Amino acid sequence: MKNIKILEYNAFNSSLESYWNKIANFSNHSCFQSYDWCFNWYINVGINRDIDLKIIVVIENDRPIMLLPFVIEKSLFLKKLKFISYDLADYTNIIYLDTLSQKKISSVFDFCIGSINGFDILIFDKVPSLINLKKNLFINSFIKKKRGVSYQMLLPNNKDDLSKIIKKKVFSDTKRQIRRLRNDYNVKFNFVSNLHDIDTSLLDEFINQKRARFNSTGAKDIFNDIIIQNFYKNYYAKFSNVNLHFSWLTANNEVIATHWGVTKDDCFYFLVPTFSSSKWNKYSPGKILLQNLLEWSIDNNFSVFDFTIGAENYKKVYCNSKFELFHFVKFVSFKSHLLWLYYKFVDFAYNSNKVKSYIIFLIQTKNKLINGFKK
85 touches 30 (CB < 8 A): no
Between 278 and 313, the more confident residue is 313
Between the CA of residue 290 and those of 137, 166, 211, 293, 371, what are the distances in Å?
32, 12, 19, 5, 62
pLDDT at 60 over 90: yes
pLDDT tens across 91-148, in order? 999 999 999 999 999 999 999 999 998 999 999 999 999 999 999 999 875 667 888 9
pLDDT at 366 over 70: no
> pLDDT tier at 347 (50, 70, 90 boundaries)?
low
**DSSP conformational letter for 225:** S
- Mean pLDDT score of the chain: 90
- Percent of the chain topping pLDDT 90: 75
pLDDT tens across 173-212, in order? 999 999 999 999 999 999 998 888 888 999 999 999 999 9
Provide the 10 A C-beta neighbour count for residue 279: 10
pLDDT of residue 141: 55
> pLDDT tier at 240 (50, 70, 90 boundaries)?
low
Phi, psi of 323 (to 5 degrees): -150, 165
CA atoms within 13 A of residue 95's CA, in its CB half-sphere: 29
- For the chain, what is the radius of gyration of the CA atoms? 24
pTM score > 0.75 for this model? yes
CA 290, CA 268: separation in Å to the nearest integer? 12
> pLDDT tier at 279 (50, 70, 90 boundaries)?
confident
pLDDT of residue 238: 73
> Three-state SS string across 257-320, please?
EEEEEEEECCEEEEEEEEECCHHHHHHCHHHHHHHHHHHHHHHCCCCEEEEEECCCHHHHHHCC
Q: Of the given ranges (28-42, 272-286, 359-373), which has the lowest mean pLDDT? A: 359-373
pLDDT of residue 375: 44
332 touches 121 (CB < 8 A): yes
CA 329, CA 124: separation in Å to the nearest integer? 6
Between 165 and 370, the more confident residue is 165
> pLDDT tier at 357 (50, 70, 90 boundaries)?
low
pLDDT of residue 142: 63
CA 75, CA 34: separation in Å to the nearest integer? 26
